[in-house]
Amino acid sequence: MTENRVQPANDLFLKALRGETVERPPVWMMRQAGRYLPEFMEIKKKYDFFTRCQTPELASEITVQPIRRYGMDAAILFSDILVVPQAMDIEVEMKPGIGPWLPNPVRSVADVEKAVVPDAEDALGYVMDAIRLTNEKLGGQVPLIGFAGSPWTIFCYCVQGQGSKSFDKAKAFCFSQPEAAHALLEKITQTTIDYLKAKVAAGVHAVQLFDSWGGMLSPADYQEFSWQYLQRIVDALKDLAPVIVFGKGCWFALETMAQSGASALGVDWTLTPQKARELSGGNITLQGNFDPARLLSPPDTIRRMVREMIRGFGKDKYIVNLGHGILPEVPVEHAGAFIDAVKTYREEG
């Protein structure tokens, strides 16, 4: 499964995932390939969202743009979590000013039955082509991360039909039609496992699971409708490549996540580094957790806060990142200050 993965010259990220001692922690940013970069905006003017995702030349170019500009320690493939439902024959559009839009949301047993479990290599082959092309462009400089949404987060969009502050329709479907909900979650899980295995075979060095809407659920409902499916994905992938699990708002599940076999856990900005270490047991690599809005602070403030954050987590078993995706309005100089503060970090004494 690993024949396409070249050991990168900069392996700081992979060392941190293995829990090895490092001179400084590695750094990358969620959504680093995209909307805050002027070079990305030039491509955006010419091609719609899913054209960018589905065209390997465009996806690979967008992926390497931030590496050229800032020299992060890892690249993350430009794509979207909603290519999975598209592959399952669930129509997804990206509407300007609205975001994801599903014209025919899943609301019944019959709708669940219509969803297919595709051959990932076949239905999502353009992603695998983008991985191979991206690795060529990276030239073995840094590792490449592949990703997928958690089954629960994908489910939220499939049932709600668009983004939401509460995902009330998705939750109502779970609580009123649990059998149908689990049937859909099962199909999404199977598709995601096949998809991530294909990504590893195509050449990604690690995978990240985004449970963006996990924090919408109570701890008991999280276990039932999200975590059990995430655990199955971790079990299926962990011997093939390192797995990072990021659950936004899921601090209550960090103890369970830490025992899952994942290589690292992402944490958001609503808890301190010390509390994140405490809740996760202190032995697993953590990733995060700078508030993306804090990148709107003056660069000197950003540098100071990043150094404080690293001291809080400790330099080992730690990957510097944001607590969620970078905001489109962040100035490029501020993103640069964030990256530079990590790259110039050295332990005192």
CA 25 vs CA 61, 137, 142, 218: distances in Å: 26, 24, 14, 33
In a domain, 244, yes or no: yes
Cα pseudo-dihedral 226, 234, 83, 197, rounded to 10: -160
Q: With bands split at pLDDT 50, 70 and 90, how would you rate the model's confidence at 4?
A: low
The number of distinct structural domains making up the chain is: 1
Residue 272 phi/psi, 5° resolution? -75, 160
Enumerate the known binding-site residues: 31-35, 50, 80, 157, 212, 324
In a domain, 348, yes or no: no
Q: What is the mean pLDDT of residues 119-123?
A: 97
| CA atoms of 35 and 58, how far apart (whole Å) | 14
| CA atoms of 230 and 191, how far apart (whole Å) | 13
In a domain, 128, yes or no: yes
In a domain, 4, yes or no: no
In a domain, 2, yes or no: no
Judged by phi (left if over 0) then psi (alpha if -120 to 50, else beta), residue 19 lies in left
Residue 162 phi/psi, 5° resolution? -170, 175
| CA atoms of 292 and 297, how far apart (whole Å) | 10
- 237-271 confidence digits (pLDDT tens): 999 999 999 999 999 999 999 999 999 999 999 99
Q: Which pLDDT belongs to residue 348?
A: 75
Q: With bands split at pLDDT 50, 70 and 90, how would you rate the model's confidence at 5?
A: confident
What CATH code is carried by the domain that includes residue 147? 3.20.20.210
Enumerate the known binding-site residues for substrate: 31-35, 50, 80, 157, 212, 324
The amino acid that residue 219 corresponds to is P
Contact assessment for residue 8 and residue 205, using Cβ atoms and an 8 Å cutoff: yes
- 10-24 confidence digits (pLDDT tens): 999 999 999 999 999
Looking up tokens 């809005």, which residue turns up?
293
Strand order in the sheet with 264-266: 75-76, 144-149, 206-211, 243-247, 264-266, 285-290, 318-322
The amino acid that residue 249 corresponds to is G
Q: Which domain holds residue 190?
A: 12-343
Task: Examine the pLDDT at 347 and tell me if it is beyond 90.
Answer: no
Q: With bands split at pLDDT 50, 70 and 90, how would you rate the model's confidence at 158?
A: very high
- 187-243 confidence digits (pLDDT tens): 999 999 999 999 999 999 999 999 999 999 999 999 999 999 999 999 999 999 999
